[in-house]
Amino acid sequence: MIKEQFGWNRFFEDQLAGGIPGRVASSNHGRFLVWTDGGEVEASVSGLLRRGSGLWPAVGDWVELRGDAQVIVKVLDRRTKLSRKQPEREVREQVLAANIDVLFIVSGLDRDYNERRIERFLVMARESGARPVVLLNKSDLANELGLDLADVVARTAQLSPGVQVIPLSAKADHGLDALPAQLMHGETAALIGSSGVGKSTILNRLLGDERQRTSAVSAGNSRGRHTTTTRQLFVMPGGWLLMDLPGLREVQLWASTEDLADSFDDIQELAGHCRFRDCAHAGEPGCAVEAAGLAPARLANYLKMQRELAHLEEKIDPKLAKETRAKWKAVEKSVRHHPKRKA
């Protein structure tokens, strides 16, 4: 039964209205591969969904299919969702993955290691509702790169409160056992990180004999190149699910300034001691954040993301304001057309 295997629970059960339940395993230009009790089906979406009524399916979603299992009629509300701002100019949310329990943020210890990028992914994770775990891959290169692994792990763990950090080498098959230990049967994880950090190598290692696709590393190119750009869900030995999120060149945040503050609890705590409540930590007198002597790059990254999110909120708000104005106009109009009758 897919429900027992893939994390179905009461929350989803209560939303089902008589159709067939299924979980979206992959999507490709409006066609969705859905796991159901009757097997894997390729489904499209109903006209209603296509016209923008209701949620659009994302990989990891639980959906309701029409009786013949060919058409998705409803996307069930999500427990968690991993989103970014759509890369185009339009201010729109793009849901990358749904119903993820653990987000593995993958970073290579080679030149990809970038604390600012990890901080960004951590804010994204915080917004999603999934538990972030940072994977520092390519630990086999630590010596060669002159890195003290324990030191890098400790530094990374300080980037956000309570975040777990796991060093590993997918290539040398070292440390990978720690990943399944993060998940219970039926839970879902996703791998996120820049291209070339080793996401597909990790996935393939974990899949082992049950490998469902070969590594997309092209011959003669040591950094490797992906041929797969779609997001896809895999069943792992041990009964948990893993999703690869390849091809993410750009992650603009789709989060709130609160998610940001939660991710930077040290700054939030200090900000409480600033002289001005609306202190921007940019040269104001009595600024406790600046006085604390935080790593300047961390503070700069925080301020940069804060500006980005404030801008996002500003862009979203006028839309809401416009809708509210339209609503009031309609009310005014109806009042004009139905003047009070004389008593």
Binding site for ligand GDP (CB under 6 A): 137-138, 140-141, 169-171, 193, 195-201, 217, 222-224, 226, 246
**For 77, left (φ over 0), alpha (ψ -120 to 50), or beta?**
beta
For 103, the 3-state DSSP assignment is strand
CB of 125 to ligand GDP, least distance (A): 17
> Which of 105/305 has CB closer to ligand GDP?
105
Integer angstrom CA distances of residue 62 from 1, 58, 67, 95, 319: 14, 9, 16, 14, 30
> Which of 3/171 has CB closer to ligand GDP?
171
> Which of 53/214 has CB closer to ligand GDP?
214
CB of 102 to ligand GDP, least distance (A): 17
CB of 103 to ligand GDP, least distance (A): 15
Q: How far apart are the C-alpha atoms of 291 and 137, rounded to whole Å? A: 35
- Dig out the tokens for 44 from the structure: 């499209």
From the list 175, 102, 188, 162, the residue with the least C-alpha distance to 136 is 175
Helix (H) or strand (E) holding 20: strand 20-28
CB of 98 to ligand GDP, least distance (A): 21
Integer angstrom CA distances of residue 227 from 190, 195, 216, 217: 19, 11, 6, 8
CB of 109 to ligand GDP, least distance (A): 8
From the list 162, 166, 165, 164, the residue with the least C-alpha distance to 265 is 162
CB of 218 to ligand GDP, least distance (A): 9
Residue written as token pair 């003047």: 339
> Which of 72/168 has CB closer to ligand GDP?
168
Query: Sign of torsion, CA 318 324 330 333?
Result: negative
CB of 212 to ligand GDP, least distance (A): 15
CB of 202 to ligand GDP, least distance (A): 7
> Which of 137/156 has CB closer to ligand GDP?
137
CB proximity list for 247: less than 8 A, separation 6 or greater: 195, 226, 228, 229
- Dig out the tokens for 259 from the structure: 């998610």
> Which of 123/170 has CB closer to ligand GDP?
170
> Which of 169/232 has CB closer to ligand GDP?
169
Q: How far apart are the C-alpha atoms of 281 and 289, rounded to whole Å? A: 6
CB of 269 to ligand GDP, least distance (A): 35
> Which of 186/196 has CB closer to ligand GDP?
196
> Which of 172/297 has CB closer to ligand GDP?
172
Q: How far apart are the C-alpha atoms of 135 and 165, rounded to whole Å? A: 6
Helix ranges (H only) for the chain are 2-5, 10-13, 47-50, 115-128, 142-145, 149-157, 199-207, 257-263, 265-271, 288-291, 296-337
